[in-house]
Amino acid sequence: MNMEVAIFAGGCFWCMEEAFERLPGIIEAISGYTGGWVENPTYGLVSAGETGHREAVKVIYDPSKISYERLLEVFWRNIDPTDPHGQFADRGEQYKTAIFYLNETQKGLAEESRRRLELSGIFGEPIATEILPAKDFYPAEDYHQGYYFRFETNYRHYKLYSGRLGFIKSVWEKNRHFRLFPERKHYWLGWQKPSNSELRRLLTPLQYRVTQLGDTEPAFKNEYWNNHGEGIYVDIVSGEPLFSSLDKYEGEAEMPSFTKPLEEWAVVEAGECGGFLCGREVKSRFARSHLGHVFDEETPTGKRYRINSASLRFIPREELRKYGYIAYERLFL
């Protein structure tokens, strides 16, 4: 089996173990201690702040199924990175956050992720999370492993009353469209599509019918058919980058139309549709959202992608940095 290792300190290791272990591509997440000077520390010593260790998780994963960039995204979304003294109800050196890198590639990606998070302005205070070289990792006692599912009721109460759950919801509900590395195809490995009930909550009825059921919205009566702003269009479900305003179809079009995707990997042709003068269905690669159809036409690329506005979210040029699409700013220089 292809395996790699990542180590993250995010306060209480019960919560971080849960955050990682249920992701596709994760082989195992192990609660433990790292960063200190005492060999084979016990929970009692670490929690007393006598070892220099932090509670951490060692994540063993399959890089063909989930990327390190995706792990970084999950890490940042499950902590308060502005707290230099611990996490939520847990105070002290042993609960401080850190990314422990095992090689220069991880170090570079961790630093880049922190920089992008800082630039987003999501947090009004400085990012306090450290990026440190990995040290020996010591697994915690057996009763800590898998605590989130073995003692589910106690764990749920802890996560709620410690303040972690409320903080995560308050920050990321309104920033759910933010992405750290959206321009990288492999970044989307391990992305989890929301459940059907969650999709119905997050999407409007029209967005749900179009993206999940393959409906088509009315011609000339949709949000972006006549949008001439500069920016990019992303999948309304996942945030995958799909199209650029620089590639808008120049002829009259009843829906937002483009001559090519923003990235070569962004959309997939899912098959023919039925009916007269009908094109080939296109979907987003990872969320598998129904987008619209592609037609063979006289354009610079020989194609016209006719896309439902309801499957898209437009990110204006001036907001690309805010939502994490920093790499696409170069398109409009």
d(CA 311, CA 330): 25
d(CA 40, CA 29): 19
Q: Are 247 and 234 in contact (CB under 8 A)?
A: no
Question: Chain-centre distance of CA 141, in angstroms?
Answer: 31
Catalytic residue at 12? yes
Of 177, 199, 185, residue with least CA distance to 320: 177
Q: Are 139 and 31 in contact (CB under 8 A)?
A: yes
Catalytic residue among 12, 15, 273, 278: 12
Q: CA torsion sign, 198 to 7 to 322 to 253?
A: negative
d(CA 51, CA 4): 27
152 CB neighbour count, 10 Å cutoff? 11
d(CA 320, CA 315): 6
Q: Let me know if 292 is exposed, middle or buried by CB neighbors in 10 A (0-12, 13-18, 19+).
A: buried
Q: Let me know if 50 is exposed, middle or buried by CB neighbors in 10 A (0-12, 13-18, 19+).
A: middle
SS3 268: strand
User: Could you give the strand order of the β-sheet that contains 280-284, starting from the edge strand earlier in sequence?
Assistant: 257-258, 303-307, 290-296, 280-284, 267-272
Beta strands 130-133; 98-101: pairing state: parallel
Instruction: Cite the active site residues.
Output: 12
